[in-house]
Amino acid sequence: MFTRSELEIKTIKELRDLCRRYGVKPTGNAGYKTSYIVTLMAFPLLALQQMKLGKGLKSPNFNAIQVINSAIEEMNSPTDEQTALIRITLEGRKMSYPDRYQQENLLNLHKAKMSLEQAIDFLS
């Protein structure tokens, strides 16, 4: 990600700002450039190693993905009329109250299903 040469030409303030930008802490004494350089060069590989070890953010197991798939199937698909209402809602048209609440609920349900399907695509 960063090369040693591109980091060595930076000032301590610039290196400190980079560490703050990415949310990492310098290794050792913060008064030395080396503390920042080591951290900035090492964090990408450390992050990947942590993922391999199952530490921090990790992929869900097969059972968890099956649960998401089950939720998508349980939500079913919209009818033609529901699809039409979703489309007209996305165009900004709103029903009068109290039907508007159900209209918004239908749209939110549709968005939730689409997000779950997108999540499955990301995880595949």
What single-letter amino acid sits at 119? A
Neighbouring CB atoms inside 10 A of 113's CB total: 17
Domain ranges (residues) in the chain: 4-52, 62-123
pLDDT in tens, 48-72: 999 999 999 988 999 999 999 999 9
- Say how far apart CA 57 and CA 123 lie, in whole Å: 13
pTM, entire model: 0.71
pLDDT computed for residue 1 by the predictor: 83
What is the pLDDT of the chain when averaged over all its residues? 94
Q: Angle of helix 80-90 relative to helix 99-123, nearest 10 degrees? A: 90
pLDDT in tens, 31-41: 999 999 999 99
Cβ atoms of 106 and 82 within 8 Å: the answer is: yes
- Say how far apart CA 107 and CA 89 lie, in whole Å: 7
- Say how far apart CA 46 and CA 71 lie, in whole Å: 35
Please report, in tens digits, the pLDDT of each residue of the chain (124 residues total).
899 999 999 999 999 999 999 999 999 899 999 999 999 999 999 999 999 999 999 889 999 999 999 999 999 999 999 999 999 999 999 999 999 999 999 999 999 999 999 999 999 8
